[in-house]
Amino acid sequence: MAPVPCRRRSVPKSTWRRAANLAPEDNEAVITAAGSLRRDVGFTSHGLRCAGWLYEPANRARDEQMLPAIVMAHGYGGVKEQYLDDFARAFAGAGFVVLAFDFRFLGSSEGEPRQQIFWYEQIRDYRNAITWLAMQPGVDAARIGVWGTSYSGGHVLQLAAFDRRVKAVVAQVPAKCTWDSYFTALPAVQVEQVATWHAQARAQLVATGKVLYAAVVAPPGQSAVMPRPEALEWVTRAGTEIAGRRAVPSLRPLRRPEAPRFSRP
């Protein structure tokens, strides 16, 4: 799927009512083909800046109309440039304010070492995104929903169960019951190998401070979190279609060893 072309225009500062945590360059908006405005924004999550895109209907009367809003983020190792724009534009065209963002340590957001994935920290990022979005002018804080896909689809299910600010949830092919859906399909020897690798990774982290990474996708015959060939094809294609930079390396998007659990809750 080719990226939808956009054109840029300058938007007066008075139109946007500059909000807290926005960088100086965040006042320039993009007019998308779906009839919405998009601008670069950022918010703070546990001391680090999460980068995002804020979408609004192009024809909204900003000072007169309070709109419902949606917070959305990508799945396992994904970034907002990987087709989240398609969904966000459609939602904004339907009358929503939408915040699509990158989790800490991934994409355009801050955090070192890079490419770390902590499910519990990503849920915290969602909660901080909701707080920031609820503070924006013209957003109806009583009508905020969350959207997630795959790994983040599991996040939003947990988030909606515990955060009373969430009034609607969309979980697209969510990651849930991962032991039953993933680990039970692996041969016992492979489960043992994975558990051993994670134990070694934790020991190395404690002893040296170095993070041991594992590939999310890889060519056939190589170890990866998602070893199926269609996963490699999708990540490779998505990486080549991101204009200006490779937001996710084609063969080695990475993860932190502490992320998974190998026992039932």
pLDDT classification of 172: cutoffs 50, 70, 90 = very high
How many Å is the Cα radius of gyration of the chain?
Answer: 19
Q: Tell me whether the omega of the peptide bond preceding residue 57 falls within 30 degrees of 0, making it cis.
A: no
Average pLDDT over residues 249-256: 34
Closest CA to 70 of 173, 172, 157, 139: 139
pLDDT at 247 over 70: no
The pLDDT of residue 78 is 92
What is the rounded average pLDDT of the residues 15-34?
Answer: 46
Tokens matching residue 16: 């946007």
Over residues 19-46, the mean pLDDT reads 68
Least confident of 45-49, 116-120, 164-168: 116-120
> What is the band of 54 on the pLDDT scale with cuts at 50, 70, 90?
very high
Nearest CA among 19, 27, 36 for reference residue 85? 36
The pTM of the whole model exceeds 0.85? no
| Lowest pLDDT segment from 52-56, 236-240, 257-261 | 257-261
Q: Compute the distance between CA of residue 236 and CA of residue 217 in angstroms, rounded to an integer.
A: 9
Q: What is the pLDDT of residue 34?
A: 60
pLDDT tens per residue, range 201-236: 889 989 998 888 888 888 888 878 888 889 899 888
* 201 CB-side CA count, 13 A: 16
Kindly report the CATH number that applies to the domain delimited by 7-176. 3.40.50.1820
What residues pair up with 40 in beta bridges, in sequence order? 53
- The identity of residue 67, as a single letter, is L
* pLDDT top residue among 50 and 223: 50
**1 pLDDT exceeds 50?**
no
Bigger pLDDT: 22 vs 120: 120
Domain ranges of the chain: 7-176, 178-265
Mark out the alpha helices in the chain (DSSP H runs). Answer: 13-16, 84-93, 119-134, 151-162, 178-181, 188-208, 229-241
Distance CA 186, CA 107 (A): 30
Which pLDDT score is estimated for 258?
Answer: 36
Identify the pLDDT of residue 213.
87
